[in-house]
Chain A
Amino acid sequence: MEKQTSPYRWGMVVDLDRCTGCGACVVACQAENNVAICGKKEIAEGRNMHWLRIERFWVGEYPNVRARFLPVLCQHCRDAPCEPVCPVYASYHNPDGLNGQVYNRCVGTRYCGNNCPYAVRVFNFYSHQWPKPLDNQLSPDITVRPRGVMEKCTFCVQRIRRAKEDASGEGRLVRDGEVQPACAQTCPAEALVFGNLADPRSRVARLVRSPRRFRLLEHLGTHPSVYYLKGGGREHV
């Protein structure tokens, strides 16, 4: 494992016992990150541009049936299968543990998307429109990705950057809870918790020690920075 050179290792905890599947996080992410509006046709082709999706699983059959929700976003793997396959290093790892994507470097081979076991990378197969005056909503902090470019969840890196600037201006580290991605910020049930895994006292680090913890497709050895907490307690179906 590489040496830790930054005081931050950003990570997230998704508490499945809290998540209600409401979808607020999906819209928050789309709004924050200039994620394209996709019509029916595009989604039918499996080309929805959402960076964050809620997987819904039916378990069992009527009347002993349950529905489960699983928010899936880029897992920011420490051993990310998407990174080494990019011929132009558009998919890279930053010292804070983020798996980044350099849009102006991406040449659209889509190797990274094919290699991602979580299917969280989305490709601009089309050039997307924001009919006027809808384009006013576009955030100036984020580039609008053109056709032919791969994109995905960044943990709202623009917010992280700003928080780091603020903190270093005051000669300190970013405080726990000071920065949150848009999804975690809006989640009504507080199912999403973001923070610095390198700080053992942070809320994420404490939650990660829960016995309910697991990671998606752990056996692949990708070492995701996103941890899930199992729904728990007495259960009747």
Chain B
Amino acid sequence: MKRRTFLQLGGMTAAGAWLSGCRSANERLIPYLVSPDEGVTPGRAEYYASACRFCPAGCGILVRVSEGRAKKIEGNPAHPVNRGKLCARGQAILQELYHPDRVPQPLKRTGPRGSGKFTPISWGEGLSLLAGRLSALQRERSTERLALMTTQLRGTLAELADRFVAAFGSPHHIRFDLLAPDWLRAANRRSFGQASLPWYDIAETRYLLSFGADFLEYHLSPVHYGFAFGRMRQGRDTVRGHFTYVGGRMSLTAASADRWMPVRPGSEGALALGMARLILTESLYDAASMAASGLWPERLAAGLEAYDLPQVAQLTGLPQQVIAEVAREFATTPPSLAMAGEMVAFQDNGPEAVRAVQLLNVLAGNLNRPGGVFPGGSVAGPENSFADLLAFVERMRGDRIGVALIHGDPLHTIPPVTGFPEALARVPFVVSFSPLLDDTALQADLILPDHAALESWGDVIPPVAPRGTVIGLMQPVVTPLHDTRQFPEVLMATARELGGGMAAAFPQQSYLEMLKEAMKKEVHPAGGIDFETVWVDLLRQGGLFKTEGKGGKGYRWTAEAPVPAPAEPRFAGDDKRFPLHLQIYPSTAFYDGRGAPLPWLQQLPDPMTTVVWDSWVEINPATAAGLGIGFGDLVEVTSPRGSLHLPAVLYPGIRPDMVAIPMGQGHRGMGRYAEGRGVNPLALLALADNGTGPLPAWNATRVRVARISKEGNLVTAGNPEGSYRGELIEI
């Protein structure tokens, strides 16, 4: 301290000699030494409202623009989904706009597919190439040989894409997203007779029980639910909501739980039914809710006979007393809330396990009540797009597709076990709209690059909003950087080029016009107010947010709904040769992989492991010790489908019979920051067939792990040893 004080005093006298009359010792120093506060140059920036489409949640954003350049993305406080907040990904889409490796103009393939050899062409040439292929199909009267593949679009974009294929005379618009909530819509239809997605009132609940629903990372609407979670914990004066998480791996979401139940993979449904049975036999259920749903407690209990406590403890590998305790807490802490998520749905018994969790909400009376679950809005969507995907693969395999238009990167996000890559290779003409040379674009014959999100128009309809109508509007915040065109504009231009019925299907001059028409229908401007004024207002505030009224029909267990019956889980790979369960999960930073090209997200330490710029496999320390694997060692993970090499992370929060790999890395292209970095774990996935045909059971593959060397080349931002010593900071 002596030396510090000395330096301080020395400085003060030096400065003091120059300045007098200042108010404090500190200030006497500062005005002399510092003129502008650290180089701040004041100057006003402008904000433009738009919407984020990086994941399906559809948050509202405000983009700070200065001198024609986008500088910073913030949450739009007026947007009911995210209320001014944003996740890491949403802020990083700025780097999608300014990515140094964007495809600047249309490209035509010159080398063999996958070689990355393209030659730049003009839009005129690109469009007539495409139109030429399409009119050939028309001439051959085989218009059904056109396929359009997109992610699960909504709003005007979905309408336009559908109209394009329909007008052409093809039934093939495939809308597949690995992480889309088809499974939840299907389960809701089966249990409640309506496929609408739920809205969970997390903020007001007192006991939250999540079965593999990682709502703080990617499940449905992470910012919306992250906001609600903060309120659940500390937003009420006397209540702190409790949170229990069920799942074999401690996810980022599970890390915030008060209690973690590392259940055996595939037994989540059995656990839910075991809890249901206990609630019934101990008469802890909500009688009114049971009656409203037409369920008879005795009959239901009889149907759940098989799920007595000892049996469920056996199936799940959890102590009986813990199961009973959680069941009782859940039933006696109203309002409580049970959620089912992807980590349950992606088991081969997932569809029924999800329904078992829903039954808990019926028993505890959580349907349609504050702190419980409501049907959220009216967003319809596919309930089994996986079946569509498989049918599409069959078609391509049978050489029945001549032209495939692909928006998105299915070669990276569809597990190869579906046969998609080989089937696509048979399609004679593949068009990609990717703004970067991603895995799919590298295999394409023609690339017609889309605008970046911040250069685009669009409507973004969030899947999760309390009630009412919420439509976010995207508007260009800067002039386009390159010679790119927005995907819907390209479809419309192609239709015009084809002429005839195709051109007639798109009477509007531009996508913007179509968007405005659609919004006009939504708002019905009152007499006397002209729509242009309304439109400018909508753009200014970021969209149409009508959050009152229109509460849909509540959830009610339907008479036809059978008692959930999750079968014994099955896994691909026998347990002798493949002793470990593999869990793949969406990366917090990259979602399904679309975030990988953005350096901010690569540099962002993974919250659980602090790994940067890489892939890794998480192994329980005890399991790793048994296999002689140390932190950061290079290991080989082998499934019945294939094997991958990647570094190991010793992860205390995972079952010893399980390993986990995040999705998102392992791109063959996608620019300098993503290319060749890490591995794509989807390559390991095999399909468990339970007799009814293949299911999207992405977490039902078994693997083995072997050490290769010390050279994992793993980099963590935090010290893996140091961070174990929490007592240093006494938290």
Residues of B within 8 A of A142 (CB): 38-40
For window 245-265 of chain B, which residues contact chain A by CB distance below 8 Å? Answer: 250, 252-253, 255-256, 258-260, 262
B631 at the interface (CB under 8 A from A): no
B526 CB–A CB distance under 8 Å: no
| Residues of B close to A48: CB separation below 8 A | 603, 612, 717
Cross-chain contact B7 with A85 (CB below 8 angstroms): yes
User: Please, how many angstroms separate the alpha-carbon atoms of A44 and B11 in the complex?
Assistant: 37
In the complex, the answer to whether B255 meets A69 with C-beta atoms within 8 Å is: yes
CB distance from B640 to the nearest CB of A (A): 27
* Contact yes or no, B88 A68, CB < 8 A: no
Contact A70 B729 (CB under 8 A): yes
Q: List residues of chain B with CB within 8 A of the CB of A139.
A: 66, 71-72
Contact mask B706-730 → A, CB, 8 Å, 1/0? 0000000001011000011110011
Q: Which 3 A-B pairs have the closest CB atoms?
A: A188-B226, A84-B4, A189-B230
Residues of A within 8 A of B (CB): 2-3, 5, 15-18, 20-24, 26-28, 30-32, 37-40, 43-44, 48, 50, 53-63, 65-70, 81, 83-87, 89, 92-95, 100-105, 131-143, 154, 157-158, 161-162, 165, 182, 185-191, 214, 216-217, 228, 230-237
B19 contacts the other chain (CB 8 A)? no
Q: B75 near A233 (CB under 8 angstroms)?
A: no
Interface centre among A31, A131, A187 (most CB of B within 10 A): A31
Are A95 and B26 in contact (CB-based, < 8 A)? yes
> B386 CB to closest chain A CB, in angstroms?
29
Known: A23-B88, A55-B723, A58-B653. A68 touches B731 (CB 8 A): yes
Contact between chains at B4 and A103 (CB < 8 Å): no
Bound together, the chains give a CA A8 to CA B82 distance in angstroms of 30
A30 to B602, CA, bound (A): 13
Given contacts A186-B85, A234-B258, 11 further A-B contacts (CB under 8 A): A2-B26, A16-B731, A17-B233, A23-B588, A31-B73, A57-B725, A65-B250, A93-B30, A162-B42, A188-B230, A236-B258
What CA separation (Å) do A68 and B98 show in the bound complex? 35
Question: With the chains together, A54 CA to B43 CA distance in Å?
Answer: 32
Identify which of residues 211-225 in chain B touch chain A, using a CB-to-CB cut-off of 8 Å.
216-217, 222-223
Number of residue pairs A-B, CB distance < 8 angstroms: 291
In the complex, chain A residues whose CB is within 8 Å of the CB of B72: 31-32, 137, 139, 182
Complex partner residue of B71 from A20, A53, A140, CB under 8 angstroms:
A140
Q: Which B residues are in CB contact (< 8 Å) with A95? A: 23-24, 26-27, 30
Interface residues of B (CB under 8 A from A): 3-8, 11, 23-27, 29-30, 33-34, 37-43, 66-67, 69-75, 82, 84-88, 91-92, 94-95, 98-100, 216-217, 222-223, 226-227, 229-231, 233-234, 240, 242, 250, 252-253, 255-256, 258-260, 262, 481, 588-589, 599-601, 603-605, 607-610, 612-614, 620-622, 652-656, 672, 715, 717-718, 723-726, 729-731
Q: Is the beta-carbon distance between A191 and B604 smaller than 8 angstroms?
A: no
Bound form: Cα–Cα A109–B4 in Å: 15
Which A residue sits closest to B481, measured CB to CB? A133
5 A-B pairs whose Cβ atoms sit less than 8 Å apart in the complex: A15-B234, A94-B30, A95-B30, A141-B43, A237-B260
